[in-house]
């Protein structure tokens, strides 16, 4: 890898801040006519589309990479070694109902490995960044996961996808009685960001696409945390790469309680 990753981070930060400004502009001003249903409980708004358009415009203005984005899909680029992975608005359902729990996510992939992650939580003016091997940062201050090692004292962020997965309900029953507190925020970006910052100790996510977690999982790992599938492997079929493409369930922790949580979730 011969690119200037710090320069790429700067470009991604510019793009994600501009996208955040767009989301703030529309927040609490979304009309029913501005919302489209992709499925029964999955929305897309005019804000998603405008934020995505701005991010893609900025990134394409600097680099000729492939792009994978939630609403636009795959955008072909001449340079196939690199790919931007974008979620212009994670937590759209929250956003559409004027709940300020949402975020923007940009990741850069090099030959199947995430090397850069940037997250913007516009409502809180939170910016999280990570370059592979250089640690994770919150508003330019280095962050690390929590030191909590007792499961009964852990704070859990849980997915909200109860309707789609039977295992979601089963896992929740197993875990909620073994932790101190839990919250269901409705945004994978927020859940993983808070674990990376040490504001929580565990997050469990189901049915995510790569754009939901690509940037976040690098930030968690660079903050000292751990991310695996619920069977304990760290990639597709345990290969060690491609975890961010896995549409199945993933476990995110501070690393200290990871094995204990895996054991608990996999009990018959």
Q: What is the pLDDT of residue 88?
A: 96
pLDDT at 78: 84
Distance CA 159, CA 82 (A): 30
Q: Can you give the pLDDT at residue 235?
A: 62
pLDDT at residue 42 greater than cutoff 70: no
Report the pLDDT value the prediction gives residue 77, as an integer from 0 to 100: 86
Residue 241: how many other CB atoms lie within 10 Å: 14
Whole-number pLDDT of residue 74: 86
Please state the rounded mean pLDDT for residues 197-225: 93
CATH number for the domain formed by residue range(s) 151-265: 3.40.190.80
Write down the domain spans for the chain. Answer: 5-142, 151-265
Asked if the model's pLDDT at residue 123 lies above 80, the reply is yes
Asked whether the predicted pLDDT for residue 245 surpasses 60, the reply is: no
Q: Where residue 163 falls among pLDDT bands split at 50, 70, 90?
A: low
Residue 164 — pLDDT band, cuts 50, 70, 90? low
Question: In CATH, which of 3.30.540.10, 3.40.50.360, 3.20.20.30, 3.90.340.10 is domain 5-142?
Answer: 3.30.540.10
Q: Which pLDDT value is given to residue 128?
A: 98
Using the predicted structure, report yes or no on whether residue 244 has a pLDDT greater than 70.
no
Domain 5-142 identical in fold to domain 151-265: no
Q: How far apart are the first and last CA of the chain?
A: 44
96 Cβ neighbours under 8 A, 6+ residues apart: 30, 35, 43, 45
pLDDT value at residue 112: 85
Give yes or no for residue 15 having a pLDDT over 80.
yes
Region of poorest pLDDT, from 25-34, 52-61, 176-185: 25-34
How many CA atoms within 13 Å lie on the side-chain side of 145? 32
pLDDT mean over 172-178: 92
Residue 215, pLDDT > 80, answer yes
Q: Please list the alpha-helical segments (H only) found in the chain.
A: 5-26, 46-62, 92-96, 166-176, 188-197, 210-222, 258-265
pLDDT at site 89? 95
Q: Comparing 4-13, 37-46, 58-67, 176-185, which segment has the lowest mean pLDDT?
A: 37-46
- CB contact at 8 A, 208 and 84: no
The closest of 120, 145, 122 to 222, measured between CA atoms, is 145
Predicted local confidence at residue 38, as pLDDT: 59
pLDDT category of residue 162 using cuts at 50, 70 and 90: low
The average pLDDT across 173-196 equals 95
Average pLDDT over every residue of 54-71: 94
Mean pLDDT of the chain: 89
What SS3 state is found at 11? Answer: helix
Portion of the chain with pLDDT greater than 90, in percent = 68
């Amino acid at each position: 890898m011969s690119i200037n990753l710090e320069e790429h981070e700067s470009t991604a930060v510019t793009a994600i801040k501009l996208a955040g400004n767009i989301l703030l502009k529309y927040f609490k001003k979304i009309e029913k006519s501005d919302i489209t249903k992709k499925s029964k409980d999955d929305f897309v708004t005019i804000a998603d589309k405008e934020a995505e358009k701005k991010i893609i415009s900025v990134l394409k203005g600097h680099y000729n990479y492939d792009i994978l984005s939630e609403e636009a899909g795959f955008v072909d680029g001449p340079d196939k070694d690199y790919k931007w992975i974008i979620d212009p608005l994670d937590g759209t359902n929250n956003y559409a109902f004027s709940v300020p729990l949402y975020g923007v996510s940009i990741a850069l992939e090099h030959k199947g490995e995430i090397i850069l992650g940037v997250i913007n939580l516009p409502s809180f003016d939170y910016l999280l960044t990570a370059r592979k091997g250089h640690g994770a940062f919150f508003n330019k201050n280095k962050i690390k996961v929590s030191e909590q090692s007792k499961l009964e004292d852990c704070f859990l962020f849980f997915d909200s996808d109860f309707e789609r997965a039977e295992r979601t309900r089963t896992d929740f029953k197993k875990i909620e009685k073994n932790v101190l507190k839990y919250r269901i925020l409705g945004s994978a970006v927020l859940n993983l960001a808070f674990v990376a910052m040490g504001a929580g100790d565990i997050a469990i996510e189901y049915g995510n696409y790569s754009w939901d977690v690509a940037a976040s999982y690098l930030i968690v790992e660079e903050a000292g945390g751990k991310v695996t599938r619920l069977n304990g492997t760290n990639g597709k079929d345990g290969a060690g790469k491609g975890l961010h493409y896995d549409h199945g369930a993933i476990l995110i922790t501070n690393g200290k309680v990871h094995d204990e949580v895996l054991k608990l979730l996999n009990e018959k």
